[in-house]
Structure 1
């Protein structure tokens, strides 16, 4: 997600969904302007700490193949870790270290996620990932689809298409579905409620498509929202839109178990000859 630039588009999304009156449109436009003034624009690109991580927690080192597990992260600013203060606090780094420890093998992290990406941008990321197909991929996408009026049905279909490409290349895929934008408190009411409803509708549509494809989905809205609602001062970065290092730590803790479970399932299937 890109914060302030997304809010104006959300106004138009609200109008297209609900048929806003002139007065209601004016109210939401004013709220959007106030929220943009609070959030501001991102000043920095996300940090990057791609490389090889070992079970003892060391890394990153220059990537080598060997017996390492290749782990790719695709999606938007949440996947990229915009808002993390240090490279070690990036969600992908925490996950790479957690996977290395849990699976007792080195993990080679490659980040393809780009801040501001929508599901329509995911194809290009998958193209890059498939140059050297990863063993495991995490995809987090959807927030920018909400704020740019992308059709929920089209967004979910495109996600399914790109995860299928990864799976067909032998990659085990885990998807974090669209988070609840209602946790972003600088967005005033009723605009925040509109954002919440839209994002939760997209998350449900993503889940339906992924379930049909047999792709493991993790509900970020259900698992993260209560904590972010309760602790906004602790878990958001200075822009009050993206998580900070502590917020990403909480998100990584939620995502690590499904990623490990997905890889353990692959091991069991290979041992059983399935």
Structure 2
């Protein structure tokens, strides 16, 4: 009987694996391959403001590069730079090194190029391709940690938008969709723990766009039904921007927090909670002057009010258009 039971279990696993492989092949056929690269968004934003420009670099995969939009003002980098200039009243020099299709393993050359710019803050969006390629989470996180540590060693603040919920992608059908959601959340939680331990900040993107995508797929998805549209990117940037601003004022944000603060958790618990609730910021903090407690490093959770970032330009001449590098 035991042999029969074992055989039945193996057969069921094989059948399930066959279904998942078939669904994965179908999803790849449904989702078009990347064709043209996203628009470049490098340049100086808010040149009318006084002072030394804040240098920001954007690293990661197609979501960081802005694949799916056709105007540079709609890319995540341009939206972040425009939002920073408006709120800091300082110019922002933006460099985008993100590469469409990049895995976490591809961050090293991006970081090496970014460090040549002596950045003040780096925004990293990575993880989706690691899930679809089934990169072991520990390996993917190791590459991410190496990137964060290299940037922090150079004095650069780092904000990581953790792995999005791939279960929100319409061409992926159940049960593959359910597994994609679980894998995405597991990687996001692991990224959060590792990044905060390395001195960075995280913002969970999770299913931030999921409900809107389900209700308005033609509006929130780009033409390929996989990447966000201009409005989808604007929602993601609205979640990231408050944390980027806080990271640039890190001295005030990282003061020790009293034990009674409701948003303080052990880092592992904070990571799990953030993975379940999109838009949650996680950063390291102290309790009674200590970085760590019985369950590990202390972490601060924040659910910040989203900052509006419009994907469409204001009427009249665009006041926040960049001066492109290499042009007059």
Shared fold (TM-score, shorter chain, > 0.5):
yes
Pick aligned residue for 2:32 from 29, 32, 40: 40
Match of 1:85 in 2: 70
Return the TM-score normalized by structure 1. 0.83
> Structure 2, unaligned stretches of length 5 or more?
1-9, 255-328
CA deviation map 1:29-50 (0-9, x unaligned): 3222322232121221111121
Residue by residue over 1:178-200, the C-alpha shift from the partner in whole angstroms, topping out at 9 and shown as x without a partner, is 11100101111111111111111
Indicate the RMSD between aligned Cα atoms, in angstroms. 2.3
Q: Is the 8 A contact 2:209 2:232 kept in 1?
A: no
- 1:221 aligns to what SS in structure 2? coil
1:135 aligned partner:
120
Task: Provide TM-score, normalisation by structure 2.
Answer: 0.70
- Asked whether the 8 Å contact 2:165–2:206 carries over to 1, the reply is yes
Using a 3 Å threshold, how does the CA distance of structure 1 residues 267 and 71 change in structure 2: closer, same or farther? Answer: farther
Higher helix proportion (structure 1 or 2) = 1
- C-alpha separation in 2, matches of 1:20 and 1:242: 33
Measure how far apart 1:19 and its partner are.
Answer: 9.8
Correspondent of 1:99 among 61, 67, 84 = 84
Q: Spell out, residue by residue over 1:191-236, the C-alpha distance to the aligned partner (whole angstroms, 9 max, x if none).
A: 1111111111000000111222231100010544343344322211
Corresponding residue for residue 53 of structure 1:
45
- Which residue is equivalent to 2:311? none
Q: Secondary structure at the match of 2:206?
A: helix
CA distance in structure 1 between the aligned counterparts of 2:57 and 2:161, rounded to whole angstroms: 14
**1:30 paired to 2:22:** yes
2:222 aligned with 1:237: yes
Name whichever of 29-38 and 172-181 sits farther off: 29-38
Partner secondary structure for residue 254 of structure 1: helix
Please name the residue that 2:155 is paired with.
170
Q: Deviations over 1:226-247 (max 9, x none)?
A: 4334432221101100011111
- The 1:136–1:125 alpha-carbon spacing in structure 2 relative to 1, beyond 3 Å, is same
Structure 1: which 5+ residue stretches go unaligned? Answer: 1-17, 58-65, 270-274
Contact 1:73 1:112 in 2 (8 A): yes
Cα deviation, residue 147, structure 1: 1.5
Instruction: Give distance in 2, aligned partners of 1:214 and 1:181.
Output: 27
Residues 2-59 of structure 1: CA deviation (Å, up to 9, x unaligned) = xxxxxxxxxxxxxxxx9973322322232223222321212211111210000769xx
Report the counterpart of residue 145 of structure 2 in structure 1. Answer: 160
The 1:268/1:25 distance shift into structure 2, 3 A limit, reads closer
Q: CA deviation digits over 1:100-131, x for unaligned, max 9?
A: 11111100010000011111110111011111
Greater relative CO, 1 or 2 (CA 8 Å, sep 6+): 1
Deviation at 1:265? Answer: 2.5
Matched, 1:217 2:202: yes
Indicate the structure (1 or 2) with the bigger Cα radius of gyration: 2
Q: In 1, are the aligned partners of 2:149 and 2:199 still within 8 Å (CA)?
A: no
Which runs of at least 4 in structure 1 moved beyond 4 Å after TM superposition? 266-269
Indicate conservation of the 8 Å contact 1:84/1:248, yes or no: no
SS at match of 1:108: strand
Give the number of equivalent residue pairs. 245
